[in-house]
Amino acid sequence: MNALEKLIGQTVVAYLERDDEEGYHLVEGKIIDVMIDDYYFYDKNEPIYISVSLAPALPLRKGVELEDLWEIPLSQIRKK
């Protein structure tokens, strides 16, 4: 089993950078998908981009859209 697939179903807190007065939002949710973009990794020796998608655990705050929970970089999530 791919080690990243073990993340699916885990509850995490995501740090979402925003362009508003607060600057960021913390959103709790369950990981529903892990995406690995290694398109240029083999051809151009560029880094692999790993992101996750979340299903929110609570209603979303004003200013946070459902689309904001798609493709969150792995570096912006923390275990709850």
How confident is the model at residue 80, as a pLDDT?
85
How confident is the model at residue 32, as a pLDDT?
97
Collapsed DSSP state (helix, strand, coil) of residue 38: coil
How confident is the model at residue 72, as a pLDDT?
96
Selection from 31, 48, 30 nearest residue 39 by Cα: 48
Architecture category of domain 3-79 in CATH: Roll (2.30)
Q: pLDDT, tens digit, for every residue of 14-64?
A: 999 876 666 788 999 999 999 988 887 778 888 889 999 999 999 998 878
The answer, as to whether pTM is greater than 0.85, is no
Domain residue ranges in the chain: 3-79
CB 11 within 8 A of CB 28: yes
